[in-house]
Amino acid sequence: MKYQHIKDEAYKANMQLPKLGLVLFTFGNVSAADRELGVFAIKPSGVPYEDLSPEKMVIVDFDGKIVEGDLRPSSDTLTHAVLYKHWEIGGIVHTHSTYGTAWAQSQRDIPNYGTTHADHLTADIPCAPPMSDEMILGDYEYQTGFQIMDCFKDKGISYKEVEMVLVGNHAPFSWGKTADKAVYNSAVLETVAKMAYLTEQINPGAPRLKDSLIKKHFERKHGPNSYYGQ
């Protein structure tokens, strides 16, 4: 029962993905970490969501080694492990949601066009460049974690302020203090990606949101004098 709490957390978070329309078949995964124990629970590879249970979650350490479980963990496990090892986060989501993945395949950051985007972050949602052939032919999933971290370093972005990313020609990842927050961020990313796509269809020359509105909408939710919510 040592890991039951994160097995339950990972299971509940994984089950949110199909409910929110973020996955098709088995195209996605969520993990939940216990940083004190240095492990995380993650969805088993290729298992349909309707067949999941807390007991089927696989426990893995931050080096990607299986600690407990009879099933193979998600094929993206090493990406999760790298991010947990280097960033102070508690949950990670990876999906191939339609609009987020379309932006990733286009190798474009998602521009901040409106207040829905600004309610959650002041920056564009970054798109990491496609991985080099050397990284792809090496330990692909392991290197994907470094591709994400290098993107944030190169762009001067804090992972604590921007809890989501696109990997060029691949798909979105999101994270948070908990698995639930990571799922929330994944849903926000997909919604903002869809809105940005439709904005460019309606007006290809649509202006980006001005700085004063970005600041206002972000700070009313997250600033020192925030007043959104109860």
List average pLDDT for each run of 10 residues in the chain, which is 230 residues long. 96 98 96 98 97 98 97 98 98 98 98 97 96 94 98 97 97 98 98 98 96 93 88
- What pLDDT was estimated at residue 225? 86
Helix axes 77-86, 140-155, angle to 10 degrees: 40
pLDDT in the model for residue 223: 87
Q: Which residues have C-beta within 8 Å of that of residue 218, sequence separation ≥ 6?
A: 118, 119, 120, 121, 122
pLDDT at residue 178, rounded to an integer: 98
For domain 4-222, give the fold. L-fuculose-1-phosphate Aldolase (3.40.225)
Task: Please give the pLDDT value at position 202.
Answer: 98
- pLDDT value of position 15: 98
| 197 labelled catalytic | no
Q: Where are the domains of the chain?
A: 4-222
Provide the pLDDT for residue 226: 87
| 176 backbone dihedrals φ, ψ, rounded to 5° | -175, -175
- Residue 170's contacts (CB-CB under 8 Å, 6 or more residues apart) are 101, 104, 130, 144
Catalytic status, residue 84: no
From 63, 154, 211, 228, active-site residue: 228
Token match 């521009």: residue? 111
53 neighbors 217 (Cβ within 8 angstroms): no
- Within 10 A of 24 (CB to CB), how many other CB atoms are there? 13
pLDDT, position 230: 87
Contacts of 204 (CB under 8 A, 6+ apart): none
Q: Which of 8, 34, 61, 119 is catalytic?
A: 119
**Residue 3, number of CB atoms within 10 A of its CB:** 21
